[in-house]
């Protein structure tokens, strides 16, 4: 099987759109591998913070990204021999990830690593530019959105459930600021691929979104036959 014949389903969209959960469940349903590309940007930011490297030092951050000792094992995320599953989800690391993701050299350093996840029998790739830049030849593409208010509310519930304090208006503002940065950046901005299915999940639960994505994938597969 040549690499380009291995099917890829891309799921892109803004943060807290539910796409991580949807993508993971879709990958499980299809028996495919799963790439959480946002985790690679989060790991890069965390690694820079740990090494005392400034997040706008493009050369040094890109070096860290190129040699990231990252591993995804049994539902946990590792940086060398440290389990950083929870650490990379911290708001400060998410902020840092958004900053390093705007640096072209960092995106270039992570390009091949992301494409290497394309392995039989198939891949579900979750991110911002999976369908536009990393896997433009994907078999099926989905762009998952939800209003900033709905996404802030979901994040708020997650934080409260974990026993953290949170402010809903602050989360809405954060969400809008991060969207603006991710959408306005010069390299690989957050935007749907022209051939992506737009799925607005503001009024949808996770299970309905999973079913909609699986139906779209089946339709694309049938069309390609
Ligand atoms: O999906 P996430 O919240 O874990 O992503 C963290 C940051 O990384 C987010 O600010 C956008 C950026 N990112 C990106 O630029 N390209 C990707 N393919 C995935 C994430």
CB of 37 sitting under 6 A from ligand 1:
yes
Domain 3-215, CATH homologous superfamily name and number: P-loop containing nucleotide triphosphate hydrolases (3.40.50.300)
Cα 116 to ligand 1 centre (Å): 18
Q: For ligand 1, atom 20, name the residue with the nearest CA.
A: 38
Q: For ligand 1, atom 6, name the residue with the nearest CA.
A: 38
All residue ranges of the chain with pLDDT < 70 are 1
CB of 182 sitting under 6 A from ligand 1:
yes
CB of 42 sitting under 6 A from ligand 1:
yes
Q: What is the pTM of this model?
A: 0.92
The whole-number pLDDT of residue 1 equals 64
Q: Give, for ligand 1, the residue of 91, 114, 128, 178 to mutate: max count of ligand atoms closer than 8 Å to Cβ.
A: 128
Q: Which atom of ligand 1 is nearest to the CA of 190?
A: 15
3-state secondary structure the chain: CCHHHCCEEEEECCCCCCHHHHHHHHHHHHCCEEEEHHHHHHHHHHHHHHHCCCCCCHHHHHHHHHCCCEEEECCEEEECCEECCCHHHCHHHHHHHHHHCCCHHHHHHHHHHHHCCCCCCCEEEEECCHHHHHCCCCCEEEEEECCHHHHHHHHHHHHHHCCCCCCHHHHHHHHHHHHHHHHHCCCCCCCCCCCCEEEECCCCCHHHHHHHHHHHHHHHHHHHC
Q: For ligand 1, atom 13, name the residue with the nearest CA.
A: 38
């Amino acid at each position: 099987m040549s690499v380009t014949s291995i099917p890829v389903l891309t799921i892109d969209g803004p943060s807290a759109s539910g796409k991580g959960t949807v993508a993971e469940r879709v990958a499980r349903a299809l028996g495919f591998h799963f790439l959480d590309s946002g985790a690679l940007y989060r790991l890069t930011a965390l690694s820079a913070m740990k090494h005392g490297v400034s997040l706008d030092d493009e050369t040094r951050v890109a070096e860290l990204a190129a040699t990231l000792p990252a591993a995804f094992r049994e539902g946990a995320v590792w940086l060398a021999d440290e389990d950083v599953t929870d650490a990379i989800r911290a708001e400060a690391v998410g902020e840092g990830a958004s900053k390093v993701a705007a640096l072209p050299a960092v995106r270039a350093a992570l390009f091949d690593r992301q494409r290497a996840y394309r392995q039989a029998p198939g891949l579900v790739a979750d991110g911002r530019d999976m369908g536009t830049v990393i896997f433009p030849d994907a078999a099926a593409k989905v762009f998952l959105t939800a209003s900033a208010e709905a996404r802030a509310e979901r994040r708020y519930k997650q934080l409260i459930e974990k026993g953290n304090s949170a402010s809903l208006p602050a989360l809405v503002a954060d969400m809008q600021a991060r969207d603006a940065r991710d959408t306005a950046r010069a390299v690989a901005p957050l935007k749907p691929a022209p051939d992506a299915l737009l799925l607005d999940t503001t009024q949808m639960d996770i299970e309905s979104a999973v079913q909609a994505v699986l139906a779209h994938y089946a339709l694309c597969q049938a069309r390609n036959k």
